[in-house]
Structure formats: C-alpha cells, structure tokens
C-alpha cells in the first residue's frame, strides 16, 4: 500500500486528490508542525518538504507534481494524465509544468520571500514583485481554459493542480472575481465528490471567500 505523509494546506493535496478520485488505497500519515524536521523524515526526504510518498516497495518519492502524475499514469484509462497519442497530451504537459515551475514557485516567493534574499531588508520588494508576477501568470493561464475544465469537458490532473494553487493565492476571492474562467474551473473540480472531500480535509477552503 502507498503511504502519503501530509499536512493541511500542503502539496500533499494533489496526490491525495488523485488517489481519492481513482479509488487507490493508501495510508495517510498526518504530520504535526515539526513532523517533517525529524531525522527519520529527513533520511527519506533530505529537503524536509511535504509531501513524502512511499511506494509499496519502500522507495520514496517527493515533489507533489511528480507524485500526482505518477499516480494518474498508473490508471491510464482514467484520462487524468493524457496518453502520448492523446491530442491534448502536449498542451497538458505544457500547462502542468507551467503550473509547477511558475505558479507554484511564485507562490513561494510571495509567502517566503526571505528564502530568496541574503539581506532581509529586501524581502518586501521580493514579495511585491511576486504578487505582480503571480497575477500576470494566472492571467496567462486563464486564456487557454476552455471551460468548465481546462480542456473543456475533459477532467484532468491539471484541474486538480490548478485548484490547489488557487487556494494558495494571496487573495483567492479577488483572483476568482477577475478571472471567471478560473472560478468555473475550481467550481467544476470541487463538484466531484472525492475531490471535495479531500479539499475539506486539507482545509483548502480557507481564504477562498
């Protein structure tokens, strides 16, 4: 059985949502505020980040995007991860990686500006720049949403990942008001019972308005 080390409002939401959506059995191991700093945890995950994912053979995976994609691909008929011969495979990979490399990273720059500078006096500037970049990136993302999901009626892992990142925006209600396509994508994703249950468990509704 898979094991997922998780905590509320972390990237563990994405792989958890995939497993719940697909009915994949797993053990969820909740971490308290210091749980990811123990020597045992660091031995498996040197970056001490959440989530940590343990496969049945005992090997470890990190990086929420990679874990979620791996899980989606274990059930190829689900369509959560388009197959190589699928027409939306290329745009799916483009925007899925865009979400991780750009949206996720910019979110970190906003909320953890001190990690990106050596002089604490510059933290406010990093945060302001991140806020401007975050909304610019979201506007770019929204232009390609076909509705209600990113690829029209086709629900994919990308929708799960984007919904998670919306919840992490510094002002989700403002983002959803400015970009109704994103609001519809989030609503459609949370209309799926399995996803809605994980959303509640991970307290992703906080600050959503």
**What pLDDT is stored for residue 127 in this prediction?**
92
Quote the pLDDT of residue 37: 77
Q: How many CB atoms lie within 10 A of CB 157?
A: 26
Q: What is the pLDDT of residue 122?
A: 87
Q: What is the pLDDT of residue 141?
A: 97
- The pLDDT score that the predictor gives to residue 119 is 84
Closest CA to 52 of 102, 7, 89: 7
Q: What is the pTM of this model?
A: 0.94
The list of the chain residues with pLDDT below 70 reads: 209
Q: What is the pLDDT of residues 2-17, one digit of tens each?
A: 999 999 999 999 999 9
Match 């505020």 to its residue by tokens. Answer: 33
Position 179 scores a pLDDT of 97
**What pLDDT score does 134 carry?**
93
Q: Largest Cα–Cα distance of the chain, in whole Å?
A: 52
Name the E strands within 37-99.
52-54, 60-61
What is the distance between the alpha carbons of residues 137 and 134, in angstroms, rounded to a whole number? Answer: 5
- The Cα–Cα gap between 65 and 51 comes to 10
């Amino acid at each position: 059985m898979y094991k997922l080390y998780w905590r509320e409002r972390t990237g563990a939401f994405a792989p958890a949502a995939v497993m719940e959506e697909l009915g994949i059995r797993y053990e969820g191991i909740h971490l308290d505020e210091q749980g990811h700093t123990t020597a045992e945890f660091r031995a498996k995950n040197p970056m001490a980040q959440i989530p940590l994912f343990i496969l049945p053979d005992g090997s470890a995976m990190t990086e929420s995007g990679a874990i979620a994609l791996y899980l989606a691909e274990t059930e190829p008929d689900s369509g959560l991860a388009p197959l190589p011969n699928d027409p939306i495979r290329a745009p799916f990979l483009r925007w899925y990686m865009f979400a991780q490399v750009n949206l996720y990273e910019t979110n970190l720059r906003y909320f953890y500006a001190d990690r990106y500078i050596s002089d604490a006096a510059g933290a406010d500037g990093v945060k302001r720049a991140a806020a401007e970049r975050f909304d610019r990136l979201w506007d770019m993302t929204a232009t390609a949403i076909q509705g209600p999901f990113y690829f029209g009626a086709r629900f994919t892992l990308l929708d799960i990942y984007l919904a998670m990142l919306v919840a992490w925006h510094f002002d989700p209600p403002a983002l959803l008001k400015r970009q109704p396509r994103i609001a519809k994508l989030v609503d459609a994703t949370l209309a799926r019972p399995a996803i809605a249950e994980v959303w509640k468990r991970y307290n992703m509704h906080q600050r959503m308005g």
